[in-house]
Amino acid sequence: MIKTSKSIVFFGSGSVAAKSLELLSNNFYIEAVITKPKQSNSRDPVPVIDAALKLGVKLFTPTNKNELDKLFDENIFTSKLGVLIDYGIIVSSKVINYFKLGIINSHFSLLPIWRGADPISFSILNGDKFTGVSLMLINEGIDEGNLIAQEKIGIEHLDSIKLTNYLINLSNSMLKKYLPMYLSGKITPYVQSAAMLPSYSRKLTKEDGHIDWNKPANQIEREIRAFINWPKSFTNIYNIPVIITQVNFNNSSGTPGSIYYSKSVMNIKCLSNSLDILKLKPVGKPEMDISSFIAGYKNRFI
């Protein structure tokens, strides 16, 4: 039976949004899905479109803010609430105010920490011990809206892929718990903490992935974990282009960029301390452990 009292309109793009949509559909009636359109020259799948079609949900694909406004001029939605996860298009106050209870963004940080486009990567890069999920009512600011709820988890030594999966599941459990309470008027939104200074993330670029061995080892180790999905961490080892995917911290020191290897060990010195390379991916080849790399490429080491 359709529970219209738990009806939402979903806004989202990308794989995180797609997985979140699938999970949400188990507990809420999805009246419509609004996502970015597939690029005409792209053969890549569009995860949210695929998920919406699989669920049999009404689908809309405006390309920008103006088209999104027009969509709400031309269509009638009955849901009191929108849910937004990694959408990527500016939502105007006109669209926000269309919903009696607004639009809730599930943002993967402990706001006001790491507002902006890539909070997961920046929480790892900064060496934060904790991150979490903030359910926030969006406004026209950058992640400045009032909160519905926050919960935190430890980061430990997780990379961005594993941490993202944990946060997707935390987000879903929170939406399942708190959205019905908000819809029934049992939660009063509250302002973000004024005791913490806001911090801001940004979209990463390909250049961010270039490993600079003139950085401390602990910083490079965090970059490798943060960039595991994009832009990846790339360097040259004896003029062989590689993507490094897993390392261990080593307290030995030496000239930054210098390499020591044996049959099954490779260590690269950093500005302070060094890193033992555990796994890497030569360009165009599958990921391999360091023993396999040394065995297969040592004849090219200079």
- Asked whether residue 272 falls in the same domain as residue 292, the answer is yes
- Asked whether residue 156 falls in the same domain as residue 192, the answer is yes
- Asked whether residue 244 falls in the same domain as residue 180, the answer is no
Q: Which residues 6+ apart lie within 8 Å of 228 measured at CB?
A: 159, 160, 161, 245
**For 75-152, where are the alpha helices, taking DSSP H only?**
93-98, 119-125
| Residue 147 tokens, joined | 């909160």
Q: Which domain CATH number covers 54? A: 3.40.50.170
Q: What does the pLDDT look like over 169-206, one tens digit per residue?
A: 999 999 999 999 999 999 999 999 999 999 999 999 99
Q: How many C-beta atoms surround the C-beta of residue 6 within 10 A? A: 18
Residue 296: domain span: 206-300
Q: What does the pLDDT look like over 22-77, one tens digit per residue?
A: 999 999 999 999 999 988 777 777 899 999 999 999 999 999 999 999 999 999 99
Domains in the chain, number: 2
- Asked whether residue 58 falls in the same domain as residue 184, the answer is yes
Q: What does the pLDDT look like over 205-229, one tens digit per residue?
A: 999 999 999 999 999 999 999 999 9
Query: Is the per-residue pLDDT at 271 higher than 50?
Result: yes
Q: At which of 165, 181, 200 does a domain end?
A: 200
- Asked whether residue 102 falls in the same domain as residue 43, the answer is yes
The pLDDT value recorded for residue 294 is 97
Measured CA to CA, the distance from residue 263 to residue 290 in angstroms comes to 9
**How confident is the model over 124-144, as a mean pLDDT?**
97
- Asked whether residue 167 falls in the same domain as residue 218, the answer is no
Measured CA to CA, the distance from residue 78 to residue 99 in angstroms comes to 9
The pLDDT value recorded for residue 189 is 98
- Asked whether residue 114 falls in the same domain as residue 182, the answer is yes
Query: Is the per-residue pLDDT at 158 higher than 70?
Result: yes
Query: Is the per-residue pLDDT at 154 higher than 50?
Result: yes
- Asked whether residue 31 falls in the same domain as residue 143, the answer is yes
Strands 259-261 vs 240-250: parallel, antiparallel or unpaired? unpaired
The pLDDT value recorded for residue 45 is 79
**How confident is the model over 260-274, as a mean pLDDT?**
97
- Asked whether residue 149 falls in the same domain as residue 167, the answer is yes
Q: Which residues pair with 259 in a beta bridge?
A: 268
Q: Which residues 6+ apart lie within 8 Å of 10 measured at CB?
A: 17, 21, 24, 30, 32, 33, 34, 57, 82, 83, 84, 85
**How confident is the model over 4-29, as a mean pLDDT?**
94
- Asked whether residue 220 falls in the same domain as residue 194, the answer is no
The whole model's pTM is what?
0.94
Q: At which of 144, 175, 200 does a domain end?
A: 200
Query: Is the per-residue pLDDT at 1 higher than 50?
Result: no
In the β-sheet with 7-12, what is the strand arrangement from edge to edge?
Answer: 59-60, 29-34, 7-12, 81-85, 103-107, 130-137, 147-154
Q: If you average pLDDT over every residue of the chain, what do you get?
A: 96
- Asked whether residue 192 falls in the same domain as residue 221, the answer is no
Q: What does the pLDDT look like over 292-301, one tens digit per residue?
A: 999 999 999 9
Contact 177, 201 (CB under 8 A): no
**How confident is the model over 122-144, as a mean pLDDT?**
97
Q: At which of 168, 200, 232 does a domain end?
A: 200
